[in-house]
Structure 1
Amino acid sequence: MALTSALGRPAPHGVADEDLERMLLIRHFERALLRLFEEGLVNGTTHTCLGQEYIPVAVSALLGEQDFVFSNHRGHGHFLARYGDAHGLLAEIMGREGALCNGVGGSQHIYHRRFLSTGVQGESLPVAVGVALRLKRLGQGALACAYIGDGTWGEGSVYEALNMAQLWRLPLLVVVENNGIAQSTPTATQMAGTIAGRAAAFGVIHHHVATTDIDVIRGDLAPLITCVREESRPVVVEFATHRAGPHSKGDDTRSPGEIALARAGDWYDRYAAGHPERFARIDAEQGELVARIADEVAARPPSSWDRR
C-alpha cells in the first residue's frame, strides 16, 4: 500500500485544547529524548513516534480504565496518551529515582497498571489475545488494545492470534501504525497483498484511516470500538501514517525524497496552520514543560531496584 502525503489536505476543523496539549507533550518529549542522547545523558537506544503522535491520542480517549493496552518498541506516545506521566517515563528511560519500573524496563519494556510494552515484534498480540479471553469471561465490557506496526505482519504469531481472536470472539482491538517502512525495509518490498486482505482472510473487521483529524478519527472509531466491546469480536484499525523521525535515534536510511514526503505528511504543520495562535501558545507551553521535566529528572539520583 502506498502512503501519500497529507500536504494540501484541509486543516482540521476543530481540536480540543487537551488533545493539542497531549499531542504536543508527546512531540516535545520525543525531541527531548533525541537531545538527551546527543548530550550523552541517555544510554542504549530509543525509537521515537515523531509524526504518529495523533494516533494514540485519538484512540486513548475511546478506551476505559479497565482496558488493557499493549505497546511496542515505539511506544512512548502510547503511554503518554494514556497516562500523561512524562516524569515517570523519562525517569524510567534515564534510570532515575521515580522511574515507572525502577529503571529496569527502559524505553521499550514498560509495565504500569494496565499498560505493557515490549521491543519484540509480534510478542504482544498473543498475550493480548489471552488477556482479551480473560476480559470476555469477566463480562465487564473491557477490551485489549494492541498497537503494532506494518512490519509486525511478517511475524507468524500475528496470524495465530487473529485466528484465535476471531474463533473465540474476543474483545481485541488491533491498531496498526502503517508508516510504510519496517526499520529500514519499505513495506512494499516485504509484504505481499494488504493488511486489509490479511484481516479478511480470518473474517476480522478492518478499518482504514487516512486522516490526521482527531475528531474525524474518533467519530469513525467509536462505533467500531463499541462493536468490540458489545459483540466481543476483534477489529483491526489500520492508520496510514508517516514516521517523521529516524527508526532509532539517527539511523535514518530513507532517501531525501522519502524523508521529505514523510515530513510533508506530518500532522504538526497542518494543525499549526489550522489553529495558529492557539497552537503556538500550547506548543510553547508544552515545550517549556518538557524542558523543565528533563532538567528535574536529570538531577535526580539513580533509581534503585531491590530484587528480593
Structure 2
Amino acid sequence: MRRALHPLVWTAATATTALLLTACGTAGRDKDTRSPSVPSGVTAQAGSATSVHVMWDRSTDDRAVTAYEVFRTGKRVVSVPAAKHMIDIEGLAPSSPYTFTVRALDAAGNASPHSAPVPVTTLARTPADTRPPTRPTDVNGRVQGAGSVTLTWGRSSDDRKVTAYDIYQADSRVHSVPGATTTARVTGLRPGTVYTFTVRARDASDNSSPDSRPVDLTTASAPGAAPSTAPTALTATLRTTGPAAHTVDLTWIPPRTGAPVKEHQLHLNGEFATTIVWGGEPPTGRATYSFTVTDKPGTRYSVKLRAKLPDGNWGDFSAQRTVVVGQGPSSGAGRPDPEDRS
C-alpha cells in the first residue's frame, strides 16, 4: 500500500521531478532497440516472363517480427505481414535481370539488415499459351519431426515447358520450386497436426495444372501431448443429381474417444457450415454425410471435419478434401488414411 505524504512536503517541484523519473524509468524499460535477425534462405524464382516468386525463412526477434519488406535492386516494392514468407512480384520486363533482398521489421520499427542479394532473370516472352501442364503424379511425403515435412512427386509435361511446381496446404500456396525440381521441404508446421498437401505444375504463361492427388501427413506430437482427436480416412466424392445440382458425399471414421461421438462440425472452404448430429445412435464404424451444391462448373469445395469430444470441447480437424464441380465423379477423394479402421 502506498504511504500518504504530508501535504507540506509534497511540493510541485517534487511532483515534477518524480514524474520525470518515473517516465524515464518506464521508457528505459519499454524501449525496444534490438533489430530482428536477417532473413535467411531467400530465393527468387522466375515464374513467368513478367513475374518473380520470392521466398524466405522466418526471422527472429526479442519481441516479435511484425512484417517483411521486399526490395528490388535496392528499392522497396512490397511489405507483407510477418505470417507471410513468399510473394509474387509482377509487372516486370521479359528476359530481364533483377536482384532481390528481404529485411524484417518489428513493432518498434527496427529493421534487420538486408538479406544477401539474390539475382534472377525473368523468362522470355512466349506466344499465346493457354494449355496447362499435366497433373503431377506419384506425390508422396515424409514427416521430419514435429515441424517439417518433405514432399516428392513425378514430373509433369507441358506443350512448352514446366517452369515451376507450387505446393499447396489446404488450398493456400506455401512453397514453390523450379520446374526442374521434384522435391520440396515445408517447415514451420505445428506438432501433432494433420496437414493435407497437393502439388500443381505451372508454365511460363502461368497456366496451372489440376491439383495432384492429396497426401496427408501428421507431424510428430510434442512430448507429453495427448493423442490426436481428428477424424480419419475422410473421402469426398461429387456426383451430379440434376441439371445444375451436385451432391457431395463424405465418409470418414470418427476418432476414438472412449465414448460415442454424437456430433461433428463440417467446415466448407475454411468456414463453419453446419453441425452433423445423428438422430439415433451414432455410427460405430465409418460415418457418412451428403450435401447438395448448385454452383457453376469449376467451383471448388474444400471440406474438413472435427468431432465433439466427451468433455464438450471440439477436437482436432481432419485432413482436408477438395472437390471441383465438373471434374468427374470422384474429384478430391484422395488416398485412404493409413489409420483407416473400416
TM-score (norm 1): 0.23
- Structure (1/2) with the larger helix percentage: 1
Higher RCO (C-alpha under 8 Å, 6+ residues apart)? 1
For the pair shown, the structure with the greater C-alpha radius of gyration is 2
Greater per-residue strand proportion = 2
